[in-house]
Structure 1
Amino acid sequence: MKNLLLVSLVFLSVISATQAFAGDHCRRQDNRCEQNFRRADIYKELLTAEGGDVNDAKAGLETIDALSRDLGSSLNTTAANYIYILNLLGGSYYTQTTKSTILSISAYVNRNYQLADIVDYFADIYQAENRDVNDARIGLETAWIVAKTNRISLSKAVGLHIKLLNLLGGSYYTETTRTIYAQLANHGRYYPETFPIEDVYRAYVTLYEAENRDVNDAMTDLDVVMKGALACGNLQEALQEFTSILNSLGGSYYTQTAQKTYRDIFGL
């Protein structure tokens, strides 16, 4: 009986010590105990997403670990975005593409935009670009530059990019969209308060429709209209005057005549 009591006391002492150690360990500042449990859960999620491929799951966890440290974001948040992109791109066949993509677009994370925001913007462009990863990455980069140079939010810049892409005909017109977007941005960047890029875009849309959806004629029209807007201080009035002249001459067959007439009338 004494031996049984002694064994019981020893067993209880070991259990108490173990619990105390585990509790103390989990209360550390870096929460290693809890962190390890989270990493195990993430690994299991990755293993499922990777179709049971152990190496790809391990590589994914390493990428998530490194990105979490670089961005100062939680493991769970970083993992959720990684797995979201992996599934978005097509699953386990796109592991390397997922890794390179998330590392690339994470460069746009700052105090204004979380990783989840950037991932959403990428996903929106990716769908608009008919699921082309490279075009989506370049599209996001283009939108980022426009947002900075024209002092608008990245959300607006991405939205304008997609609107313009769809206006011009979708993913078959990616290169054309980038060229036109850059030109629109140049018009908007010098006078962002007077002529916001959203207004410049709307003016281009009006001219594009007036020119029977001719990309180049609409842009040369816009160049002339912007000069008129600078002269009179009002983009909408300058646009209305030009479209009035174009229509009175007979429409899109008389583009050059309309531009020359507009310049002559307003002394441009």
Structure 2
Amino acid sequence: MSTDLRGLGNLIQAQSPRPAGGRALLLAAVAEAILIGVIVWETAQQRTPPPPALPPMQLQLVKEEPPKPTPPAPKPPVSTPPKPTPKPTPKPQPRPLPHPAPRPKPAPAPVREVLPPSPLPSPVQAPPAPPVTPTPPPPAPANPAVKADYLAQVKGAIQAAVHFPDAARMLGQGGRVQVEFTLQDGVITGLRILRKGSMDSFNSAALSAVREARLPALPPELKGKRFQLELWVEFVLHSND
């Protein structure tokens, strides 16, 4: 970078009054000296080399040393247990002398007795055989006609014992109920209703008719026979009722 200072010198010379004689020469010499100094300083500044560039920075990994192990703590002194006091040795006691066991007396020898020979045993008789009870012959099968006639009489006796309920009579309504029971030797057991009637009063009246019926006499050939019967108890409202 250069600065032209000639204009500055000309300006100084123009503004300053021109003295006469030696004073003018002195001022001119001072101005030239200043100008030369400025020029020399600028030249020196331009020729000064730039500062050298910094060398590249290098990074180096430093290996970290492992920490030194801590020395172990000193072990406490082991206290030695006191020696046990020796126990006094017991004095051996004299052993008692064994007493001799008394010898058992020899048992007297058994006296052998000679017995007379026993008589020969009598022959054993076999027990008498139990009497054979004759098995009764199986009952002869009932005559189907006799069975059918008897059961028809039973049904008629039950129907004859029917009492028509008053509530159904007032309503003018009839019906029937199916019952089931077991008949053996003129005795009725296991009575129950299979199919109910249209009114509850018919059901109770049907059961009462079976219990209150006067059953016919049992034929001899039907004695011991067991019959499982299912029959309808009819409730019919007649015109004269």
What TM-score do the two structures reach when normalised by structure 2? 0.18
Could you say which structure has the higher strand fraction?
A: 2
Larger Rg: 2
Higher relative contact order (CA 8 A, sep 6+): 2
What TM-score do the two structures reach when normalised by structure 1? 0.16
